[in-house]
């Protein structure tokens, strides 16, 4: 029996973003991320043709995101496979990525305990499947 006050230990998960950039509906969130006034590029971290990592920021709530875009050239298919992961990050993490203290290849580790917006577009599909996923993800360079 431990006398304990109520309300100790807030366990609510970290909350990121606004109802636009972190909309429950993944397709709506993606639309905001792609719109001109939505989530904008802040800093390009790595810009290879098949591997693009950038820090972006919501124009409405200033939430920072790391965006990891990977493309796999599919010589057999008519279209290249494209995968994109967008993860909300703290300003400190954004600074670390921008300053090179945090490798873009390790950005996936930031996903621990958070949701990220995933867009998968394999070459066989007519349109991307967009969904919220969570947890640590693997960052791989395309080719």
Name the residues that contact Zn ion, by CB under 5 A.
Answer: 17-18, 21, 58, 60-61, 63
User: Closest CB to Zn ion among 21 and 97?
Assistant: 21
Helix ranges (DSSP H) in the chain? 26-34, 91-99
Minimal distance in Å, beta carbon 83 to Zn ion?
23
Minimal distance in Å, beta carbon 21 to Zn ion?
3
The answer to whether the beta carbons of residues 86 and 46 sit under 8 Å apart is: no
Which backbone phi and psi does 107 adopt, to 5 degrees?
-60, -30
Minimal distance in Å, beta carbon 104 to Zn ion?
22
CA distances from 140 to 18, 35, 55, 94 (A): 28, 26, 17, 19
Helix ranges (DSSP H) in 4-121? 26-34, 91-99
Distance CA 107, CA 73 (A): 23
User: Closest CB to Zn ion among 11 and 37?
Assistant: 37
Minimal distance in Å, beta carbon 116 to Zn ion?
15
User: Closest CB to Zn ion among 18 and 81?
Assistant: 18
User: Closest CB to Zn ion among 22 and 110?
Assistant: 22
């Amino acid at each position: 029996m431990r006398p304990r006050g109520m309300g100790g230990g807030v366990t609510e998960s970290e909350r990121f973003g606004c109802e636009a950039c972190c909309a429950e509906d993944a397709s709506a969130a993606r639309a905001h991320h792609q719109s001109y006034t939505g989530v904008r590029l802040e800093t390009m971290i790595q810009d290879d043709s098949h591997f693009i990592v950038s820090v972006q920021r919501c124009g409405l709530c200033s939430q920072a995101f790391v965006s990891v875009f990977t493309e796999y050239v599919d010589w057999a298919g008519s279209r290249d496979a494209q995968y994109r992961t967008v993860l909300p990050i703290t300003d400190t993490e954004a600074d670390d990525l921008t300053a090179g203290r945090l490798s873009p290849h390790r950005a996936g580790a930031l996903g621990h305990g958070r949701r990220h917006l995933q867009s998968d577009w394999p070459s066989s599909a007519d349109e991307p499947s967009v969904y919220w996923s969570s947890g640590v993800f693997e960052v791989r360079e395309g080719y």
